[in-house]
A and B are shown apart, each in its own frame.
Chain A
């Protein structure tokens, strides 16, 4: 199979997966119990007419799809309605035209909400990812090079411990520690600084990032370290490394020119998968530190039956995960030409 065929095939699968997820997303939220027009609001002041008006506004008065009025409770309806006038087709049509709808809860366009949140999440989780990759990969290399020494065992034990710490718990501990040391513990920025010079604002955001980024880095670096270490150990036992040593090359040169590239493959896989989930945000970290990211938005939307936000967020997450995997697939074919040949 040629490279272009390989790429085309991968693209095809990615598109198909996205299409399936879109359809699944729609039904997933419709089989949840409850009426989003009430969203748990139980109040005599909420009049029947108001509920009806809310239903009409969000198109909830229309049948879910031909033959079904609602899916939970299952209520069979007429099968002969115009399919274009069902919630399913309106949803598909809107998605294809890039229309994500209006949040049931916040009365704002979903696209605006997600865009705000996405940027915050990328900022926080991006920094956390990069730091954890660098720290993890570095200690992984060090441990592999110094295999079976106290450095190796120390790094191994540390990464196993931090990797298995519950994120929420670690976050709370760091929150207590950080607040005692004068670090901000909530939000992305100190409110009310918008009239300050830009660099002051950035400094402020940086301060707010310390604790959540630290939590993220600690939790994730262990994984990278372990993978880097074991894959580099494999490579270092190869004959050509021995040859390189015999030629008298220095440590750094052997690692850079001979070992690292071959040891990168498993790490790239993990990074690609994790990068995809970056967009989903680390719900727990965002909650502990009140970080206004995507994870928090999803959490809140679940609680409030905010289907448009959930659909939008799930779409975004799906697309990024699939794209990240696609990129990883393509990277493999560069890192290891044997892969595309299968």
Chain B
């Protein structure tokens, strides 16, 4: 009996082993790594390191989800790589004299992927869904100005705003139009939307979370029917695998790669590398806690405000700016792939970026002189400068999120550079949640290294420097300047485009003068594609994003 059990166990083990081995054997033949036979559909394979969090456009947070939404859905406007907008679902858009009422005419003959016509009803349904679902993280902020939304005809949508806004395009561009007949009756948050019926240039074939997204071309698309037949996004969890995958042709394009891999691929005759601002530009920032005790959020709001008083002095921030060698930071952290930053508004925002400003040059002597003149001397001779009244030394806590790859290196570099000035920094990485807890609205820190992702419209990033955002937790610096606040309010209702640009440029000048942040660099996106597979990728715009609709609908296989 005992013996039988043992033999049974061993026999079972052998049996399973045989099966496992069999699987291995079958693999030695036919190394058809990329699938698709030459006569079959034209498939473009894209490697990326992420995966959508959900296919529900309201509930999604990750940019990978938005990449897929852009391909499968349509919205009123299309955002172009140069930062401008063009009409997409709408044939015409008319604003009333007072800027309150917008009338959109929907193009004729647009259908969802399941053949149902897309009408004004679907548009209204989608906008109301986004507006009324509290569990959607972002959508509430894009619909907050909508007072009334209604379909006045089969192909006409009228939106009434609570006040005139200059950037309705950037509010509408992420409000994807969903088919009412599918979403009606579903729980708006819990609906997984796996079939993902949209009207965009690509339609969903199969989605495997964390593995791949398989799309097929919608050759009937009213605006941009793709030239390829299918597009497949495949997830590779390590950068090494991603780089190897394009090197060996398992994918045709990769949407991101570490700067350290550039050298590996540069010599490959079949691979082209491009560096540029990503579709949603991101900024890395050095945050100074400069909140005035008078503006400290109340205890109820969570204010603690323990920031070092020296950082409230513009002279100290200016000296730190002069002591920060941005070029060295770019050379070491980005390996030269990118350029120094200026203000919180990144160059990827195109026309909104104020390129007339001159940055504070790297000049240690000047930095030292500024601190000397302002009275920050080393009173006790310990090598660290002290406050003019001698109350405490210039020792700053410096924190960064522990999930940041570049954080430790940036902190190390800054610590060295600022150390030359006689300023001491205490470095500590923190869990992103813990960092949020000390950041804002607590203001329980001195210096922080973090970053922002940008909207296509500058309003979002400009808002984080306004006084109003101090208690909400969006302001990380506690910066407060009535002149700036007034300009922010002005640009938010300025309907004249050129005037608004002028105001936005003025605002950047003010925060640059006040040294609210030091921006070491704008995060570049490094992408690569195989030149022997597809041609036509768009490489000459302000932003470089090969996974954007603009490229994916025009690329063609190499003949």
Cβ contact within 8 Å between B17 and A134: yes
Q: Pick out which of these stretches binds chain B: A13-21, A34-42, A152-160, A314-322.
A: A34-42
Cβ contact within 8 Å between A44 and B235: no
For A203, list chain B residues within 8 Å (CB): 26-27, 30
For A44, list chain B residues within 8 Å (CB): 141, 460, 463-464, 469, 472, 474
Decide: A187 near B140, CB < 8 A? Known: A33-B437, A57-B135, A130-B20: no
For A290, list chain B residues within 8 Å (CB): 235-238, 241
CA of A47 to CA of B208, assembled, Å: 30
- Shortest Cβ distance from residue B283 to the other chain A in the assembled complex, whole angstroms: 13
Cβ contact within 8 Å between B16 and A130: yes
- The answer to whether the Cβ of A176 comes within 8 Å of any Cβ in the partner chain is yes
Which residues 1-59 of B sit at the A interface, judged by CB distance below 8 A?
2-3, 5-6, 9, 13-14, 16-17, 20-21, 23-24, 26-27, 30-31, 33-36, 43, 45, 47, 53-54, 56, 59
CA of A131 to CA of B21, assembled, Å: 8
- Shortest Cβ distance from residue A47 to the other chain B in the assembled complex, whole angstroms: 5
Number of interface residues of B (CB under 8 A): 80
Which residues 326-380 of B sit at the A interface, judged by CB distance below 8 A?
none
- The answer to whether the Cβ of B258 comes within 8 Å of any Cβ in the partner chain is no
Q: Which of A186, A188, A335 has the most CB of B within 10 A?
A: A186
Cβ contact within 8 Å between A108 and B211: no
- Shortest Cβ distance from residue A163 to the other chain B in the assembled complex, whole angstroms: 20
Residue in A closest to B401 when the chains form the complex, CB atoms: A40
Interface string of B447-474 (1 = CB under 8 A from A): 0001001010000100110000100101
Cβ contact within 8 Å between A133 and B460: no
Residue in B closest to A120 when the chains form the complex, CB atoms: B211
- Shortest Cβ distance from residue B125 to the other chain A in the assembled complex, whole angstroms: 20
Cβ contact within 8 Å between B13 and A34: no
Cβ contact within 8 Å between A207 and B27: yes
- The answer to whether the Cβ of B234 comes within 8 Å of any Cβ in the partner chain is yes
Cβ contact within 8 Å between B209 and A113: yes
CA of A34 to CA of B453, assembled, Å: 21
Cβ contact within 8 Å between A180 and B248: yes
Cβ contact within 8 Å between B6 and A186: no
Chain B interface main SS type: mixed
Residue in A closest to B439 when the chains form the complex, CB atoms: A42
- Shortest Cβ distance from residue A75 to the other chain B in the assembled complex, whole angstroms: 13
Cβ contact within 8 Å between B234 and A175: no
Cβ contact within 8 Å between A191 and B245: no
Which residues 38-76 of A sit at the B interface, judged by CB distance below 8 A?
38-50, 52-54, 57
A residues bordering B, Cβ < 8 Å?
33-35, 38-50, 52-54, 57, 102, 105-108, 113, 116, 126-127, 130-131, 133-134, 172, 175-176, 179-194, 202-203, 205-207, 209-210, 213, 261, 264, 286-290, 292, 296-297, 300, 303, 305, 331, 334-335, 337
B residues bordering A, Cβ < 8 Å?
2-3, 5-6, 9, 13-14, 16-17, 20-21, 23-24, 26-27, 30-31, 33-36, 43, 45, 47, 53-54, 56, 59, 61, 134-138, 140-142, 189-190, 192, 205-206, 208-212, 214, 230, 232, 234-238, 240-241, 244-245, 247-248, 250, 401, 403, 431-434, 436-437, 439, 450, 453, 455, 460, 463-464, 469, 472, 474
